[in-house]
């Protein structure tokens, strides 16, 4: 398990709600992902990331998720050794992957890559495979 993402309307407000619950004073990692149109506050719970995600655009995936389903769990991420190998295996096993607006399935993030598996195949859950090694935690 790599991370769990919660879609929120207001990142600051959500941080104020979750930080006392998580026993944290601030996010362990706060970042903007322009390509995905999200602002993220990541908290480490053991070796699993707990992410609050806010859309930076009304047409972003997080904004559309919230409009359709409301705030809540949006993504469960699974760490893999190699995203491209995992994608090949998943495709071979019949799991549909979700390309970005350019048609790209395997996307870059920091020093790694990730891909999304369509929730229609996984009981309505959007799954992500990511090969980031989190060396900063070791």
Check pLDDT > 60 for residue 115.
yes
Tens digit of each residue's pLDDT (9 = 90 or more) over 21-79: 999 999 999 999 998 999 999 999 998 999 999 999 999 999 999 999 999 999 999 99
CATH of domain 3-137: 3.10.180.10
Ordered by start, the domain boundaries in the chain are 3-137
For residue 119, the 8-state DSSP code is: G
At residue 105, what are phi and psi to the nearest 5 degrees? -85, -50
pLDDT of residue 103: 93
Structure tokens at 19: 């930080």
Residue 45, beta-bridge partner list: 48
pLDDT of residue 112: 93
What's the predicted TM-score (pTM) here? Answer: 0.89
What is the pairing mode between strands 29-33 and 97-98? unpaired
Chain-centre distance for alpha carbon 108: 13
pLDDT of residue 133: 87
Q: DSSP string covering 35-94, please?
A: TTTEEEEEEEETTEEEEEEEESSTTSHHHHHHHHH-SEEEEEEEE-S-HHHHHHHHHHTT
Report, as an integer, the average pLDDT of 85-104.
Answer: 95
């Amino acid at each position: 398990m790599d991370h769990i993402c919660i879609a929120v309307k207001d990142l600051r407000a959500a941080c104020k709600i979750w930080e006392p619950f998580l026993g944290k004073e601030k996010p362990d990692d706060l970042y903007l992902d322009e390509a995905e149109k999200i602002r993220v506050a990541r908290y480490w719970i053991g070796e699993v990331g707990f992410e609050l995600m806010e859309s930076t655009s009304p047409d972003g995936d997080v904004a559309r998720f919230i409009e359709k389903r409301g705030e809540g769990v949006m993504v469960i991420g699974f760490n893999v050794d190699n995203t491209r190998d995992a994608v090949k295996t998943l495709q071979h096993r019949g799991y549909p992957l979700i390309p970005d607006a350019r048609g790209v399935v395997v996307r870059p993030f920091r020093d790694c890559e990730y891909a999304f598996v369509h929730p229609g195949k996984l009981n309505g859950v959007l799954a992500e495979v990511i090969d980031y090694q989190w060396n900063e935690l070791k």
